[in-house]
Amino acid sequence: MRVPLGRGGAGRPPPCRPIMSGTGTEGKVRGGGPRDRRAGEIMDARTMCHMADKTIRWGILGTGGIAEVFTADLLRLEGHEVVAVGSRSTATAAAFADRHGIGRAHGSYAALAADPEVDVVYVATPHPVHFEPARLCVEAGRAVLVEKPLTTSAAEAARLADLAREHGVFVMEAMWTRFSPLIRRLHSLVGEGAIGDVSAIFADFSIAPPFDPAHRLWAAELAGGALLDLGCYVLSITWPLLGPPDTVQATAAPAPTGVDANTGILLGYRAGAVALLHCGLMGESPHTATIVGTKGRIELAAPFYRPEAMTLVRQGGERETFSVDLAGNGYTYQAEEVARCLRLGLTESPLLPLDESVAVLRVIDEIAGSFRR
């Protein structure tokens, strides 16, 4: 079966309710708390009128590798325009602007945040430099898409969420996997009962980069380690299906720099479901994920965080394969979700509310704390 691919994944989200009974997740946002009435709050009427049917004007904050990739995907989309870039260096910003045909280059993050021609800023800085630029943008009234993880701790993420709500400004974590067409189809299948109740989730994301104590993956001062960079993916795949865990266990092998280099995670849920997750920097793993239910399973082909194929295996062995040709590098879908929310006047995405981003980071904090003691 071929999954039809709409333009950039636009459109209303499919059903994505938790299907486990008695887990304590019923009626909750997939982030671990009762739905905050502020989530998805409507912007004021003037902002909605301004955004409806207009081209979404992007500013890019940061000029590293992920900024290059995301900008390339934005340039593929109709209804989106990259109008400005900001860096700590005017020369670096100008070079990035020249490469991508961007009209304005700002020599500071604050200048980009203050640019009145920008509707939304993509924060593409290293992990420890997510909160402060995002704060600048929110306080300037700019919508923000913050590269994952939203921040480096749950406390910081909660501060950003509170600030966004205080100012009535849209903020979303760039957990791009969540908006992939096949991930949304998976949620729909599970919500429809295609595999019964979810009983187990298996996901792994381990890579084998060369050890370099100065590299962001290995450096403690750059919030390195597998958990923040890769663990957020394996945790995020569980959240819409099982909600927040009731128990969290983990073990990790440290790198010479002190960051986690190989981490195993076991999440438990009251109804009996479990999630076995792995992230690491010590070897290339298959990068697959499997959702097991009482009536079948769904296998996400590698890489599960950017899937182009998945297989539904029903009880009795009947197999149904879904596939899709992804647009660009796979980042277009999160950009289209931002645009959809802005045009509807939403201040949060119902597909990935801020409370969920905070809750995932709370579990990461708990795991990290368990092996640092």
**Residue 145: closest CA among 335, 328, 346:** 335
Q: Which residues share a beta bridge with 251?
A: 264
Sign, CA torsion 86/66/324/306: negative
CA dihedral 305, 194, 29, 269 (to 10 degrees): -90
d(CA 305, CA 175): 9
Which residue among the candidates 28, 54, 148, 295 is catalytic per the annotation?
148
Closest alpha carbon to 186 in 278, 299, 327, 288 = 299
Q: What is the CA radius of gyration of the chain?
A: 20
Rounded Cα gap, residues 43 and 360, in angstroms: 26
Contact 304, 237 (CB under 8 A): yes
Q: In terms of Cα–Cα distance, which of 325, 348, 359, 327 is closest to 72? A: 327
Distances (CA, A) of 31 to 15, 27, 34, 335, 356: 16, 11, 9, 21, 3
Q: State the sign of the Cα–Cα–Cα–Cα dihedral 331, 329, 150, 262.
A: positive
Relative orientation angle of helices 232-242 and 354-372, to the nearest 10 degrees: 120
> Active-site residue 295, yes or no?
no
Instruction: List the one residue out of 10, 9, 16, 14 whose CA is nearest residue 238.
Output: 16
| d(C-alpha 27, C-alpha 364), whole Å | 23
- Residues designated catalytic: 148
